[in-house]
Amino acid sequence: MIQRILLVIIFIVITFVLLYAYQKVKIQSDVGTKSFYDESFEVIDIDGNPIDFQEFKGKKLLIVNVASKCGFTPQYEALQELHEKYQEQLTIIGLPCNQFANQEPGSLEEIKEFCSLNFGVTFLMTEKVDVKGENQHPIYQWLTSKEKNGLKSSTVKWNFQKYILDENGYLIDVFYSMTKPMSSKITKHLSEK
């Protein structure tokens, strides 16, 4: 009798897990969500070279708006640590932005030099972009719109807001500036190698 009850319980649990997984996939397909990789985003790296986002398929992406003169600027160090520890499965993309209290006023060369000298940054950095407003970059239009990313809408509140995407280019979650790059909220999505 007890074995029969346990089998029923196990069957119910497995059924709920499968239904949850199916529902998550169905929600994304119902809203017509396109993967990040289905879009044709145009952005150049900090050295002026076009970025081919297709190169990152199969890895998770952490997209972060960054600034050199912000209270959160020391997060560059933890972003670099995250990059070094998980670079086989994660690509970090830092997008400089000057929309929050003019905390990224420098040229691309100045930003690159600042990041390199002060934090040893080697992860991918891009040109300056707008993360909100009338000139919001298409990457951030996708990241902040549930209709486009299929998961949730958000507003970029400040510098060092983080968006993590899965290996197929679907949004997993959004983390505000207070979430440190090495937080378990982020690293739980990565496995140690």
Under DSSP, the state recorded for 127 is -
> How far apart are the C-alpha atoms of 97 and 144, rounded to whole Å?
16
CA-to-CA dists, residue 22 to 16, 70, 166, angstroms:
10, 42, 17
Kindly provide the residue ranges of all beta strands, DSSP E only, lying in 67-133, ordered along the sequence.
90-96, 124-125
> How far apart are the C-alpha atoms of 21 and 112, rounded to whole Å?
42
Return the C-alpha torsion angle 184, 43, 67, 158, nearest 10: -60
70 is catalytic: yes
Out of 70, 95, 97, 186, the active site residue is: 70
Q: Which of 137, 125, 73, 116 is nearest to 96 (CA)?
A: 125
| Residues noted as catalytic | 70
